[in-house]
Amino acid sequence: MFNEPIAHITEDGRVHTLREHLFNTAARSADFASVFGFRQWGRLCGLWHDLGKYSQAFQDKLKAAAGGEAHLEAKARVDHSTAGGLYAVEQFKMAGRLFAYIAAGHHAGLPDWEADRTGLAALSQRLLNKDLLASALAGNIPAEILEQPFPEEKPAGRDPAFWLRMLFSCVVDADFLDTEEFFEPEKAARRTGYPTLSELHDSFKAYMVDKQAGARDTKVNRIRAGILASCIEKAKDSPGIFSLTVPTGGGKTLSSMAFALHHAAVHGQRRIIYVIPYTSIIEQTADQFRQIFGDAVVEHHSNFDAAGVEGETPRSRLACENWDAPIIVTTNVQFFESLFASRTSRCRKLHNIAGSVVILDEAQLLPPEFLRPILKALDELRKHYGVTVLLCTATQPALGPHKASGFTFEGLEGIREVMEDPANLYNSLKRVEVKLPENIHEPETWENLAEELTRQPSVLCIVNRRDDCRILWSLMPKDTFHLSALMCGAHRSDKIARIKARLDGGLPTRVVSTQLVEAGVDLDFPAVYRAMAGLDSIAQAAGRCNREGLMEKGTLTVFIPPSRPPVGVLRQAAGIGTRLLGENVTDPLAPHRFTAFFRELYWLQGEERLDAQNILKELKPDRELRFSFRSAAEKFKLIDDTAQAPVIVTYGEEGAKLVGQLSSLGPERWLLRKLQRYVVNLPKHLHKRLLAEGAIREIHAGIYVQGHGALYNDDLGFCPEKSIIYDPDDLIG
């Protein structure tokens, strides 16, 4: 039965030989790496990644387990990952460390070199275990595997840590796919059959013809048609980094997709990745694209595998693992944290970013504290991996290079604007008059503000904090809507749908909301009020006012709230916004004002603050190839998951049903994915206190649910007991 070394064995005794697995993985990895010019490296990394499985210890464990569970490799607790790295170092000396990171990390994730933070898991420590290589070589590894030349392809000029993560992605995805094909061939077959981007381009053109034929002949729609035409024309330009500066309501979602499809057709790029800042707004964009492209669209949230999403299929769940689909809709968290990840599950998709068009929606929301590593990664993708980046926003951030006394902002070179004259476009789409307070430093009381809002038949008021939102809502008429992140995603979606229906029907509609409505939520109010904030936030608020241009002018009223903005970037942005709005200018929201705003916001941070976690230091080029992959990944968290903790709420019949299934079935993956729509994140201190009081309960290890019905309210969302004292700076969003 076991005539040669094996890699895997099924419970019914089918054998996957080690030779077959290594050569298959090498071939797949070579194909993946060829997209960015490193076929030989991809092949050799794949060929050597499992050399440790030739050891007698591993073979004995695997064969002894024959007839047991299907994925018996997990039972063979023998280090089979280090031997390939040891052999590479023996063959290629210092350069062999490049292979060693990949081989040693292909299960546990890319390691740190130094042991100061990760101990024996560090690569420097693992490479001391010479016996692992001796054991593997004693297994008579065929010469056709061992005797390999050093690759001829040179990675000169590339960021070595980034390049290693891309190669790592090729190997781990190839390894997963070959293993999957052996164990579950029917699952592997579901990964094929997507339409080409060319076919999707045809679907898009047909959709737009129908859409434009049914659109009313209004000034706004004529301008949108011009924006679309400009995007199609500019798409012929050579790949690189582009900006699309279009006022809110200008149709940039569809126009940016038109750019991407035409650009990919001209330059042979193979997929489109649409990156959105917030999970709370991703569904709207993904649904719009699914109407056009069907199941060619894969929606991938952070920590979310697409199951339970309307329109998801078994194939789309698979594509979330490695983004092997023509159109990906994902979040900033998922996209950028993956680029700096070390874990195999997060890194699998990276090689499929190469040769893509990446659209960054609402680019002004890139977090300043991670801006330098983010921009460096985007520049690396542009220079060396065939990626075109489109920065898409109404309020274009100042991301170009800048040098000043004592400060250098490397930024992104060569950004090309899609629109010929953004300033003129802004003027032609200007539909809102901005009304500033007489005294920009004098706060308004909530009571006076509520009286003023109540006099408006339909109005949206956006505040900076969750507790501000609740206080103001409590002073409003009973039919006023409330929106905040203390409402689960399903609840917010239902509320927004009701609000839109009322507005479309011409019914009086008042809404008090946090800033979650300022990106990707297409609301159209005749009047909007905005608490003082950064200039970008105020402009985004203006985009919810007279959006369709059906009035001569809508009104955006800026007011000074009685509470201060949360500490950190939001407070700094509000301070800059206050100063700029205090200047006597004709139009406080003109495009050039945002250049001034973002320059001050970024430069006020200082160069060090634009990489607050020292990510680039962990990954900087080093002659001895000492990188801290795992430490960098742990630091690169766009959302601080140590400050928040989730609780599942029983919103609506569906939420209650799913929580009931969780109680009876346990934490099955498909069920947890569906429950993502019913999660509210609470400050850790509040979560801990409510748990101690029995208001929330731990139903399974690390999974918390609402303890009783009164905790969740149809108007406000999650309602902790009034005796709980909030820390105001935890209550934003």
pLDDT of 178-200, one tens digit each? Answer: 999 998 888 877 777 789 999 99
Nearest in space to 356 (alpha carbons), one of 272, 255, 242, 297? 272
CATH of the domain at 311: 3.40.50.300
User: Does 570 have pLDDT greater than 70?
Assistant: yes
pLDDT over threshold 60, residue 220: yes
Model confidence at 74: pLDDT above 50: no
What letter does residue 296 receive in the DSSP assignment? G
Estimate to the nearest angstrom the gap between the alpha carbon of 8 and the chain centroid.
Answer: 34
pLDDT, average across residues 430-450: 93
* pLDDT tens digits, 491-528: 998 999 999 999 999 999 999 999 988 877 889 999 99
Cα 518 from Cα 544, distance rounded (Å): 8
| pLDDT of the residue at 216 | 83
Residue 93: pLDDT over 90: yes
- Count of structural domains within the chain: 4
Q: Domain check: are 269 and 367 in the same one? A: yes
Digit-coded pLDDT (tens) for 516-563: 888 778 899 999 999 999 999 999 999 899 988 888 889 999 999 999
Final residue in a domain of this structure, among 407, 425, 443: 425
Instruction: State residue 602's pLDDT score.
Output: 83
H helix or E strand, kind and range, residue 222: helix 219-234
Model confidence band, residue 480 (pLDDT cutoffs 50, 70, 90):
very high
The per-residue pLDDT for 361 is 92
Q: Which domain holds residue 147?
A: 6-189
Q: The tokens of 530 are what?
A: 């905005």
CA–CA dist 618, 626 (Å, integer): 9
| Mean pLDDT computed over 165-188 | 92
In a domain, residue 439? The reply is yes
Percent of the chain with pLDDT over 90: 64
Residue 13 is part of a domain; what is its CATH number?
Answer: 1.10.3210
pTM over 0.85? The answer is yes
Domain shared by 179 and 294, yes or no: no
pLDDT beyond 50 at 305? no
CA dihedral (556, 561, 565, 566) positive or negative: negative
- On whether both 131 and 174 belong to a single domain, the answer is yes
Q: What is the CA radius of gyration of the chain?
A: 27
Whether the per-residue pLDDT at 3 is higher than 70: the answer is yes
Whether residue 225 sits in one domain with residue 95: no
pLDDT band at 403 (very low <50, low <70, confident <90, very high): confident
pLDDT of the residue at 279: 72
Q: Over 80: is that where the pLDDT of 612 sits?
A: yes
Q: What's the CA gap between 109 and 104, in Å, rounded?
A: 8
382 or 587: which carries more pLDDT confidence? 382
Same-domain pairing of 19 and 134: yes
Residues 260 and 125 in one domain: no
167 and 27 both lie in a single domain: yes
Task: Decide if pLDDT at 283 tops 80.
Answer: no
> pLDDT tens-digit profile of 380-395?
999 999 999 999 998 8
Q: Which of 538, 561, 586 is the last residue of a domain?
A: 586
Q: Please tell me whether residues 48 and 150 are part of one structural domain.
A: yes
Residue 594 in domain:
no
Q: Cα-Cα-Cα-Cα dihedral of 574, 579, 581, 582, to 10°?
A: 140
pLDDT over threshold 60, residue 725: no
Q: Pick from 404, 425, 446: which residue ends a domain?
A: 425
The pLDDT confidence band at residue 733, using thresholds 50, 70 and 90, is low
Average pLDDT, the chain: 89
**Which tokens in the block code for residue 714?**
């149809």
Both 467 and 415 in one domain: the answer is: no
Please determine, for residue 66, whether its predicted confidence score (pLDDT) is greater than 80: no
Read off the pLDDT band of 326 (50, 70, 90).
very high
- Residue whose C-alpha is closest to residue 82's, from 95, 101, 63: 101
**Inside any domain, residue 392:** yes
**Residue 722 confidence (pLDDT):** 43
Q: Are residues 393 and 458 in the same domain?
A: no
Model pLDDT, residue 644: 81
Beta-strand ranges (E) seen in 110-226 are none
* More confidently predicted of 249 and 372: 372
Check whether residue 256 and residue 363 sit in a common domain.
yes
Q: What is the pLDDT of residue 731?
A: 47
Residues 215 and 166 in one domain: no
Of residues 302 and 587, which shows the higher confidence score?
587
Q: Is the pLDDT of residue 72 over 50?
A: no
